């Protein structure tokens, strides 16, 4: 199988390319500079520049591109960058797939913010989209950008991915530093559900969907047993052998992070129902296993 990967130099894309090759697949990495090695092809999602033959030769196309969530969330430029860096690559690849003769499958990375506040209610892929947040307003057009490929007859899988925890990920790197300084603690009430997933399970899910020709639609990518924020905090403190006595009240979070506060305080008890129905078996099923895997850098 030949797989084309957008965002191949990023955290998720880089590890996915390695895993695909280990599984015997060939890959083409889409890069935004002049190609420097075999298996690279230049593209520019902002202008729609892409070698159509690269897509024509693919069995599967994966988009893992998107700007970092780190930044100044109160600024309009930050919100615009979040949206454009996700929608433009997805739209460029979806258009190329729709225009191709072979119609390769499309695996499109997305997020879980679309669901919004659901309390303790289990949230499967058919749950309502209740989000009225910055990232919620990003995830919907991000997913809608895949529609042209689906309408053209391509198999499309949307990976609604929870934060991926690994010692190389920005999320876990920042948290390790905070907990190491004794600044770890629950956010708000701590009762909000906080979905997470290990890197090796994200990679495994992407491989599973790429290799299974009947898989299609949205897929929640998260560990099966979603922790609350308080449970996550206790598990990370125990894994790092550090105290976690801090408590950041909701008003302080809102003051410090502005529009991003809702992403930290919203409760989403996410369930990977579609992935499990498709036969995928998680290696890290709860927060303790996800953190152990992430901190050890297990692949």
The residue whose two tokens read 């969907």 is 209
The pLDDT, as a whole number, for residue 253 is: 75
In the structure encoding, which two tokens stand for residue 126, read together?
């058919």
Contact 258, 205 (CB under 8 A): no
The arithmetic mean of pLDDT across residues 118-125, rounded, is 97
Q: Given a cut of 90, is residue 80 above it in pLDDT?
A: no
- Distance (Å, whole) CA 138 – CA 140: 6
Contact 160, 205 (CB under 8 A): no
In terms of DSSP H, where are the helices of the chain? 11-22, 52-56, 76-99, 134-144, 147-151, 170-180, 199-211, 229-240, 250-257, 261-265, 273-277, 287-296
Domain 2-165+196-224+270-284, CATH 3.40.50.720 — does that match? Answer: yes
Residue from 128, 130, 65 nearest 92 by CA: 65
Contact 21, 47 (CB under 8 A): no
Q: Given a cut of 70, is residue 190 above it in pLDDT?
A: yes
> Which of 65-69, 71-75, 84-88 is predicted most confidently?
84-88
Share of the chain above pLDDT 70, in %: 95
Residue from 280, 6, 263, 272 nearest 127 by CA: 272
Handedness of CA 4, 5, 8, 12 (dihedral sign): negative
The pLDDT, as a whole number, for residue 73 is: 58
The arithmetic mean of pLDDT across residues 168-179, rounded, is 91
């Amino acid at each position: 199988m030949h797989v084309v990967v957008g965002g191949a130099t990023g955290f998720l894309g880089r590890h996915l390319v390695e895993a695909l090759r280990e599984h015997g697949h060939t890959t083409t990495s889409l890069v935004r500079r002049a190609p420097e090695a075999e298996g690279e092809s230049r593209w520019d999602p902002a202008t729609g520049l892409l070698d159509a033959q690269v897509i024509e030769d693919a069995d599967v196309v994966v988009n893992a591109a998107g700007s970092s969530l780190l930044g100044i969330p109160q600024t309009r430029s930050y919100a615009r960058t979040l949206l454009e860096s996700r929608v433009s690559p997805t739209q460029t690849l979806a258009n190329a797939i729709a225009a191709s003769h072979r119609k390769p499958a499309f695996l499109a990375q997305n997020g879980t913010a679309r669901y919004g506040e659901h309390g303790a209610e289990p949230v499967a892929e058919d749950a309502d989209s209740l989000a009225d947040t910055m990232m919620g307003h990003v995830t919907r057009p991000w997913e809608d950008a895949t529609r042209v490929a689906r309408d053209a007859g391509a198999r499309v899988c949307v990976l609604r991915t929870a934060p991926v925890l690994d010692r190389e990920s920005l999320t876990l790197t920042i948290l390790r530093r905070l907990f190491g300084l004794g600044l770890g603690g629950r956010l708000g009430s701590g009762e909000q559900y906080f979905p997470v997933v290990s890197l090796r399970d994200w990679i495994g899910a992407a491989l599973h969907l790429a290799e299974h020709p009947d898989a299609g639609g949205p897929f929640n990518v998260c560990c099966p047993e979603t922790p609350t924020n308080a449970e996550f905090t206790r598990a990370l403190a125990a894994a790092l052998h550090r105290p976690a006595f801090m408590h950041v009240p909701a008003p302080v979070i809102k003051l410090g992070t502005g529009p991003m506060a809702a992403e930290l305080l919203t409760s989403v008890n996410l369930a990977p129902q579609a992935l499990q129905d498709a036969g995928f078996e998680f290696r890290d099923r709860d927060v303790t296993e996800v953190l152990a895997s992430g901190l050890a850098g297990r692949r």
